[in-house]
């Protein structure tokens, strides 16, 4: 998927990260620049029967970040993350809720498991025969996430939840980009959310692709994924609307591509991923040589990082742009991950490149410029945000400084 032709210009005007390493743009950017490691012993799920015990969790009470929390108290944690991220993104964009209530603002959110904690509650209630606990069934649908966001701002636009797992929030941003380009709306809130969930943890554990503690993308001897959680949201606007209201513009969305490997369920097909990157650059009308940074999917598994490198080399040759993986700091937040990557891209375009931490010895089979010495100051003009998911669902976005 990569639409032909160009409509309205689309820009990013608001950032809303709710992450294990920081809540809000300032805290998140500070964590990225200083290389904060968000790894902790997991407390939100019972890991007693598992060999692995670590992950990344959002700290604190999320209610303080959600406007009118009582109205959404029965929603699941992923919805609460999305609501908090939306509030932060709108505030960062300088948009009052009252100004958009009743207006056509489209809401697109990605997820892997949807309202996972409510599903856990329901299963526990059924197993223990607890009357009344089944009432949460109607709120377990993944569609609740985008619907809750739309309801919280009084939007009459589209409310779409995208279940493309780890590439879902890039897909959500693409949906918003296309809607604005087509003139369907002038404003869209896009992102993703997922909570730490026993099924996610067990899946990666069973696959043997979970690290024992730290996530170490591109490192020799890397051991795998570190599960995480959070909510990411970005405000997309038409360029004309943003200029009209005097908004701060972080970047322009230059283009995108999506495809499916139609191959292995969990292993990246580097040929397909390379094709997706080439298509994204073509859609953005950007030559490979102008790209200054790649925010890698970089999960820390041996196969993922190796295949992502092969795809990058196929597109850029032997001198690709600098690459880093923020999952080294905050783990893999599933449906929210690509949204966090997009927010990190805004830092790259304005200040410099976030590092990949925990790299003690770069894999000699991945001979690229991995940013691992710490934050690399100096903004770039064009960036790529990679996102890949089980099932071979790839989505890639290209952002650039406004020209």
User: What confidence category does residue 108 fall into, taking pLDDT thresholds of 50, 70 and 90?
Assistant: very high
Among 13-22, 194-203, 290-299, the least confident range? 194-203
Please determine, for residue 126, whether its predicted confidence score (pLDDT) is greater than 80: no
User: What confidence category does residue 4 fall into, taking pLDDT thresholds of 50, 70 and 90?
Assistant: very low
Fold of 10-244: Peroxisomal Thiolase; Chain A, domain 1 (3.40.47)
Tell me, yes or no, if the pTM score tops 0.85. yes
Please compute the mean of the pLDDT values over residues 317-331 and round it to a whole number: 98
Bridge partners (DSSP) of residue 397 are 256, 385
Please compute the mean of the pLDDT values over residues 189-204 and round it to a whole number: 92
Q: Specify the pLDDT at position 203.
A: 87
Catalytic residues: 166, 297, 332
Q: CA triplet 102, 253, 285: central angle to 5 degrees?
A: 140
Question: Could you tell me if 147 and 189 are in contact, meaning their C-beta atoms sit under 8 angstroms apart?
Answer: no
Please determine, for residue 44, whether its predicted confidence score (pLDDT) is greater than 70: yes
pLDDT mean across residues, the chain: 94
Please determine, for residue 314, whether its predicted confidence score (pLDDT) is greater than 90: yes
pLDDT, tens digit (0-9, with 9 covering 90-100), for 330-376: 999 999 999 999 999 999 999 999 999 999 999 999 999 999 999 99
Q: Specify the pLDDT at position 130.
A: 66
Token pair in block for residue 123: 């299963």
For the chain, what is the radius of gyration of the CA atoms? 20
Please compute the mean of the pLDDT values over residues 166-182 and round it to a whole number: 98
User: What confidence category does residue 62 fall into, taking pLDDT thresholds of 50, 70 and 90?
Assistant: confident
Q: Write down the residue that tokens 């743009």 correspond to.
A: 25
User: What confidence category does residue 199 fall into, taking pLDDT thresholds of 50, 70 and 90?
Assistant: confident
Question: Could you tell me if 40 and 268 are in contact, meaning their C-beta atoms sit under 8 angstroms apart?
Answer: no
pLDDT, tens digit (0-9, with 9 covering 90-100), for 134-149: 556 667 778 899 999 9
Among 44-53, 135-144, 205-214, 323-332, the least confident range? 135-144
Question: Could you tell me if 16 and 236 are in contact, meaning their C-beta atoms sit under 8 angstroms apart?
Answer: no
Each domain of the chain, given as residue ranges in start order, spans 10-244, 256-394
Does domain 256-394 bear CATH number 3.40.47.10? yes
Q: Specify the pLDDT at position 266.
A: 81
Nearest to 232 by CA among 10, 15, 12: 15
Fold matches, 10-244 and 256-394? yes
Q: Specify the pLDDT at position 143.
A: 85
Task: For 164, list phi and psi in degrees, rounded to 5.
Answer: -85, 30
pLDDT, tens digit (0-9, with 9 covering 90-100), for 257-269: 999 999 988 888 9
Alpha carbon 153 to chain centroid distance? 22
pLDDT, tens digit (0-9, with 9 covering 90-100), for 234-265: 999 999 999 999 999 999 999 999 999 999 88
CA distance 78 to 89: 16
Nearest to 373 by CA among 355, 393, 349, 352: 355
């Amino acid at each position: 998927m990569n639409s032909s032709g160009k409509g309205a210009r689309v820009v990013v005007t608001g950032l809303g990260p709710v992450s294990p390493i920081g809540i809000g743009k300032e805290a998140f950017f500070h964590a990225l620049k200083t290389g904060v490691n968000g790894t902790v012993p997991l407390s939100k799920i019972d890991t007693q029967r598992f060999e692995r015990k670590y992950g990344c969790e959002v700290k604190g009470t999320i209610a303080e970040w959600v406007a009118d929390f009582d109205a959404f108290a029965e929603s699941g944690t992923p919805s609460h993350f999305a609501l908090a991220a939306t509030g932060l993104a709108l505030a960062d964009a300088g948009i009052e809720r009252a100004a958009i209530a009743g207006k056509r603002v489209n809401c697109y959110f990605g997820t892997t498991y949807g309202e996972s904690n409510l599903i856990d509650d329901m299963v526990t209630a059924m197993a223990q025969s607890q009357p009344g606990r089944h009432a949460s069934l109607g709120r377990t649908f993944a569609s609740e996430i985008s619907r809750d966001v739309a309801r919280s701002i009084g939007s009459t636009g589209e409310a779409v939840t995208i279940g493309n797992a780890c590439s879902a929030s890039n897909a959500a941003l693409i949906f918003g980009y296309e809607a604005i380009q087509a003139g369907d709306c002038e404003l869209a809130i896009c992102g993703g959310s997922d909570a730490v969930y026993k099924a996610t943890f067990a899946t990666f554990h069973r696959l043997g692709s979970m690290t024992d503690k730290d996530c170490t993308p591109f490192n020799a001897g890397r051991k795998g994924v570190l599960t995480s959680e959070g909510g990411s949201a970005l405000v997309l606007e038409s360029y004309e609307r943003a200029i009209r209201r005097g908004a701060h513009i972080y970047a322009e969305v230059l283009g995108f591509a999506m495809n499916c490997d139609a191959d292995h369920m969990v292993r990246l097909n580097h040929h397909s991923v390379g094709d997706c990157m080439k298509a994204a650059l073509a859609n953005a009308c950007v030559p490979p040589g102008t790209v200054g940074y790649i925010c890698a999917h970089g999960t820390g598994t041996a196969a993922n990082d190796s295949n992502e490198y092969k795809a990058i080399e196929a597109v850029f040759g032997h001198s690709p742009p600098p690459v880093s993986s923020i999952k080294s700091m905050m783990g893999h937040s599933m449906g929210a991950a690509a949204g966090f990557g997009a927010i990190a891209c805004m830092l790259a375009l304005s200040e410099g490149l976030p590092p990949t931490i925990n790299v003690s010895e770069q894999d000699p089979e991945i001979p690229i410029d991995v940013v691992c010495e710490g934050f690399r100051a100096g903004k770039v003009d064009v960036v790529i945000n990679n996102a890949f998911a089980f099932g071979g669902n790839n989505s890639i976005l290209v952002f650039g400084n406004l020209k």
